[in-house]
Structure 1
Amino acid sequence: MQPTVTPAEPSPKSTAPVNPNLLDSATTQLNSWTGQRRKVPLKLGSMFSEVFKTHSEAAAEQLFIGGTQTTTPSLATVSDSPVKPWLFARVLLIFALTIAILAGSYFLFDGEKMYISLIFMSALAVPFSLLMMFFEINTFRNISIFKVTKIFMVGGVASVLTTMVLYQLVSIQNLTVLTAILVAFIEETGKLVMIAYYVKRIQARFILNGLLIGAAIGAGFAAFETAGYAQDLGLSVLLVRSISSLGTHTLWGTINGAALVMVKGDRPLAGPMFRDGRFLRFFGLTIVLHALWDMPLPFEWVRIGLLIIVAWVTVLVLINAGLREIRTLRTGA
């Protein structure tokens, strides 16, 4: 009699679930807050692939003329392809050249009158360049550079003023773990007030619009705050704050602006939207990031590096949600 042959059992290796890495788990969780539980591939090389390519001034001007009544594209022509900003790098280069000339005038020729200009241009360079990046990422092209600049200047100063008013309600003497949380809540709330004002004023209804408005408020806050610190502490603080501004107020404002518009959609802005769980998760995240940034904890630069990464991962997930929204709107249309 022939022996009975039983099929071999599949090895545990072939059936064991694949554990996602930490980054995939993070993007999956953050993306679930936007309504889609799926990991988001982060392709920074592709996203910034246009930075080192040659672009004409005409191409730059074409970007800057968007957002007017005659240059805002229809939904059917809005691109949902992965964003590839490049103009912001040219803006940053112009700032770097200007700062180098001002620094040379100040240090080599004792040009004391250049001191204030050097402070303000240095404080402005990174936040405003990041703002230009989010201006490019807003593929709806429905907010003009004039409006963006106005939100950056007026909204940025107003958010600082709002924060100063809120600081009158509390007494903070020394920066501790608890007071860092309080500072984070006050400053993020101060910026949120102005973000909400401009979201309502210009009737923003797309996630990428919220990214841009939040970036404008956050960049203005960052620039004016850094200029104030440099005035008190000297030029040495400019380099530190310029590097750290890659992951602070501009990105935190961007996250809150996108989250607010995400829950608002095309409806009028109303109070219950600020209690929506989707918004509160992102708003709470920015408060945690801000508080951890300010806390007097060890391993400062390691902590700052990790916080910058978390902020950028969150922003990239929201950009993905904004592009997904374009496809959803087209399907609905």
Structure 2
Amino acid sequence: MKCPHCVHLNPEGIKLCLNCGHHFQDTNQDPNSLFYEFAHYVDMMPLKERSVEPKFHNIFSRVFRKHSELEADRLFIVGTAITTPKIEEVKETWPKPWLFARVFLIALIAFIGMYIGVSVFRNINFLPGLIIIGAFAVPFTTLIFFWEMNAPQNIAFYRIIYMVLIGGILSMLVALVFFNLLRHIINPITIGMVEELAKVITVIWIVRDRKYKYILNGLLVGAAVGAGFAAFETAGYALRSLLTGDVLNLYSTILWRSILAPGGHVAWAALTGAAFCKVQGDNNFELSLLRKPAFFLVFILVVAMHALWDTPLKGMSPFGHIILMASSWIIVFLMLRIGLKEIANKKWRIAYEPTQPTQP
């Protein structure tokens, strides 16, 4: 099947071009649906600069389409020395992720199976799996979304697993060190400061060698560390509920922390990771980078949102948490747009800036 857009030869039976992503068959979308009405409204919102246009309904347009195993396989081979594209080959348009929805569906089916094993067959051997899958399902799904949105495609999937596991546990251990030092002044502000500082220290440790220098890389690395932190924390709270014999609280803990997970640790760590990569760029790491407003203001904003999240104010849960989650993702999409514009600017400089003459 030859793609009419890029003339790439594709295997028979696939729906999307493996090179440019062109859809070979038109889908019948109901223009009167609430989703597309809302998406159209978002697309019509005025923006000062339209070089990288965020088409809201286009971002999720491939979620409900059929995809072959070959398309999924192609996603998992990116990021190696052979498969990482040159910056000139990277598309600066908004990616169209879809794999994250399949990952969530698989995790949901697995969790339901574990739930049946516990509640119907009364087999406690299913409890560890139920806690692990319940804790990791939504954070990992959100991470896959960030991975698909990483337009440079320069981070291999096995590196993502490393960042989730090692980055997640390392950030928790760093947080425990800070909590031990500040054990006499524990409050929502210090909790937010300690946990966000622990995560950003871990992110900086991962990206310090400048291999992951793009803003979109910072979003992905931060999301990986935040996903590990969130999943391990949820598993700990669920285990506490189980040890007290309160099974209903176990399910409630997993449910609510899963619903709110995308707007918590994952999004916050992604934002600080993106902010740090923005100020570091192609430079070596220096402590002075942390004082730059582009990073420092984002970090303070994230700490403030975390502190508000933990504040025991009446009405904060769940409506306040939902508002904070929505606010976090507004900033995430703004950072995604900045990251895509960064790719476009780098491509422009490579293509049009004059090269320096070689000295004899």
TM value normalised by structure 1: 0.85
**What's the counterpart of residue 331 of structure 1?**
348
CA distance in 2, matches of 1:90, 1:38: 31
Verify: 1:246 aligned to 2:262, yes or no: yes
**What's the counterpart of residue 224 of structure 2?**
216
1:110-147 per-residue CA deviation (whole Å, 9 max, x = no partner) reads 11011011001100000001111111111111110011
Secondary structure of 2:208's match?
Answer: helix
Deviation of the 1:203 alpha carbon:
2.5
Verify: 1:68 aligned to 2:80, yes or no: yes
Question: Which amino acid is 1:228 matched to?
Answer: G
**Count of residues paired in the alignment:** 298
1:126-174 per-residue CA deviation (whole Å, 9 max, x = no partner) reads 0001111111111111110011110111110110111011100112587
**What's the counterpart of residue 78 of structure 1?**
90
**What's the counterpart of residue 44 of structure 1?**
56
Going from structure 1 to structure 2, the CA distance change for 1:224 and 1:201 (only over 3 Å counts) comes to farther
Match among 177, 184, 195 for residue 187 of structure 1:
195
Question: Which amino acid is 1:273 matched to?
Answer: L
Deviation of the 1:82 alpha carbon:
1.3
1:86-105 paired onto structure 2 within 5 Å: 86-105=98-117
Q: 5+ residue gaps in structure 2?
A: 1-41, 242-249, 351-360
Secondary structure of 1:51's match?
Answer: coil
CA distance in 2, matches of 1:116, 1:270: 43
1:1-80 paired onto structure 2 within 5 Å: 43-80=55-92
Verify: 1:109 aligned to 2:121, yes or no: yes
**Which range is displaced more, 231-240 or 303-312?**
231-240
**What's the counterpart of residue 153 of structure 1?**
165
CA distance in 1, matches of 2:106, 2:210: 30
Deviation of the 1:268 alpha carbon:
1.1
Question: Which amino acid is 1:279 matched to?
Answer: F
**Which range is displaced more, 196-205 or 89-98?**
196-205
Match among 273, 278, 296 for residue 280 of structure 1:
296
Going from structure 1 to structure 2, the CA distance change for 1:118 and 1:269 (only over 3 Å counts) comes to same
Going from structure 1 to structure 2, the CA distance change for 1:173 and 1:207 (only over 3 Å counts) comes to closer
Contact 1:207 / 1:261 at 8 angstroms: preserved in 2? yes
Match among 125, 132, 154 for residue 137 of structure 2:
125
Deviation of the 1:45 alpha carbon:
2.1
Going from structure 1 to structure 2, the CA distance change for 1:150 and 1:66 (only over 3 Å counts) comes to same
**What's the counterpart of residue 303 of structure 1?**
320
CA distance in 1, matches of 2:74, 2:257: 32
Contact 2:210 / 2:283 at 8 angstroms: preserved in 1? no
**What's the counterpart of residue 314 of structure 1?**
331
**What's the counterpart of residue 259 of structure 1?**
275
Deviation of the 1:49 alpha carbon:
1.2
Question: Which amino acid is 2:236 matched to?
Answer: G
Verify: 1:294 aligned to 2:310, yes or no: yes
Secondary structure of 2:115's match?
Answer: helix
**What's the counterpart of residue 205 of structure 1?**
213
CA distance in 1, matches of 2:129, 2:209: 32
CA distance in 1, matches of 2:199, 2:66: 37
Question: Which amino acid is 2:128 matched to?
Answer: I
TM value normalised by structure 2: 0.79
Match among 236, 248, 272 for residue 228 of structure 1:
236
Going from structure 1 to structure 2, the CA distance change for 1:186 and 1:40 (only over 3 Å counts) comes to farther
Deviation of the 1:71 alpha carbon:
0.4
Q: Which has the higher helix share?
A: 1
Deviation of the 1:42 alpha carbon:
5.6
Contact 1:119 / 1:235 at 8 angstroms: preserved in 2? no
CA distance in 1, matches of 2:54, 2:80: 32
**Structure number with larger C-alpha Rg:** 1
Question: Which amino acid is 1:313 matched to?
Answer: I
Cα-Cα RMSD: 2.1
Match among 160, 164, 177 for residue 165 of structure 1:
177
CA distance in 2, matches of 1:37, 1:183: 38
1:250-292 per-residue CA deviation (whole Å, 9 max, x = no partner) reads 0001000000000000111111111111101111110011011
Deviation of the 1:100 alpha carbon:
0.8
Question: Which amino acid is 2:328 matched to?
Answer: A
Going from structure 1 to structure 2, the CA distance change for 1:154 and 1:202 (only over 3 Å counts) comes to farther
Secondary structure of 1:168's match?
Answer: helix
1:185-206 per-residue CA deviation (whole Å, 9 max, x = no partner) reads 0000010110000011462110
CA distance in 1, matches of 2:185, 2:288: 34
